[in-house]
């Protein structure tokens, strides 16, 4: 039986990497990613990266989606953004290259497959492959825009607007109108009380924008 490190299985990864990461269109880079990347699978709800850990690998998402969160000094969490297929986490780039502990938690939102790129290659490929450098910079830019949007949402938008945007984004990420979640989980992600979230969800249901079920919300 072949192991994940055998040449044929590595080569079989290249078409999948090319499909998910079309911007990485350098054959030599693709071969290196296939050779050195560690293919990992996570079930929905599994923690991929946690607070305080040293990050030894940068995740390239092949399939599925990852929810990224931040914790305050009181231990309360705030949802930041999702990582989808074809994306990576810019915070893991900085932590890897600066040898810092993680300040985020990354959890598989659904069954997810990633390629973990060992830290020693992250910086080496920046000087070696222009397409990798551009990919890293675009990842930083995309995450920065999303973080600014998160700050704007918290600072300037009402909770009902934040809630609807959260549900809409989650529906888009999971590619389904039927969201399996609880009022408490939404409250944790939005740093709000469960009672407030339940009240707003009922208002949205009365407006005809969604239907509430047991641990389920269906958007219209």
Distinct helix (H) and strand (E) counts, the chain = 8, 10
pLDDT of residue 9 exceeding 80 = no
pTM, 2 dp: 0.78
In which band, very low, low, confident or very high, does the pLDDT at 61 lie, cut at 50, 70 and 90?
A: very high
Residues 139 and 51 both lie in one domain: yes
Are residues 149 and 162 located together in one domain of the fold?
A: no
> Percent of the chain at pLDDT above 70?
95
Pair (79, 122) in one structural domain: yes
The answer to whether residue 31 is domain-embedded is no
With pLDDT > 90 as the criterion, what percentage of the chain qualifies?
62
Residue 45 lies in a domain: yes
> Under a CB-based contact definition with an 8 Å cutoff, are residues 63 and 22 in contact?
no
Q: Which domain holds residue 200?
A: 158-219
Residue 7 has pLDDT above 60, yes or no: no
> Does residue 28 lie in a domain region?
no
Maximum CA pair distance of the chain?
57
Q: Please name every residue paired with 179 in a beta bridge, in sequence order, or none if there are none.
A: 217
Give 5's pLDDT tier (boundaries 50, 70, 90): very low
- Low-confidence winner among 25-34, 59-68, 87-96 (lowest mean pLDDT): 87-96
pLDDT at 12: 81
Residue 114 contacts residue 40 (beta carbons within 8 Å): yes
Q: Which tens digit of pLDDT belongs to each residue from 96-118? A: 777 778 888 999 999 999 999 99
Residues 97 and 200 in one domain: no
Count: domains in the chain: 2
* Helix 90-98 / helix 119-128 crossing angle, nearest 10 deg: 100
Cα–Cα distance measured from residue 161 to residue 210, given in angstroms and rounded to the nearest whole number: 14
């Amino acid at each position: 039986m072949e192991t994940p490190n055998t040449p044929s299985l590595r080569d079989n990864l290249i078409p999948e990497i090319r499909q998910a990461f079309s911007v990485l269109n350098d054959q030599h880079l693709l071969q290196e990613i296939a050779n050195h990347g560690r293919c990992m699978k996570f079930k929905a709800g599994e923690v991929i990266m946690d607070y305080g850990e040293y990050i030894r690998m940068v995740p390239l998402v092949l399939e599925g989606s990852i929810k990224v969160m931040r914790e305050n000094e009181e231990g309360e969490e705030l949802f930041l953004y999702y990582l989808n297929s074809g994306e990576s986490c810019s915070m893991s780039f900085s932590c890897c290259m600066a040898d810092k502990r993680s300040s985020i938690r990354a959890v598989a939102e659904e069954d997810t497959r990633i390629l973990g790129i060992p830290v020693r290659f992250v910086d080496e490929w920046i000087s070696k492959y222009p397409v990798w450098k551009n990919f890293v910079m675009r990842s930083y830019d995309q995450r920065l825009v999303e973080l600014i949007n998160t700050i704007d949402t918290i600072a300037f938008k009402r909770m009902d607007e934040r809630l609807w945007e959260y549900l809409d984004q989650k529906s888009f990420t999971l590619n389904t109108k039927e969201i399996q979640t609880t009022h408490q989980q939404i409250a944790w992600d939005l740093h709000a009380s469960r009672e407030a979230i339940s009240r707003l969800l009922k208002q949205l249901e009365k407006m005809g924008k969604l239907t509430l079920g047991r641990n389920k919300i269906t958007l219209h």
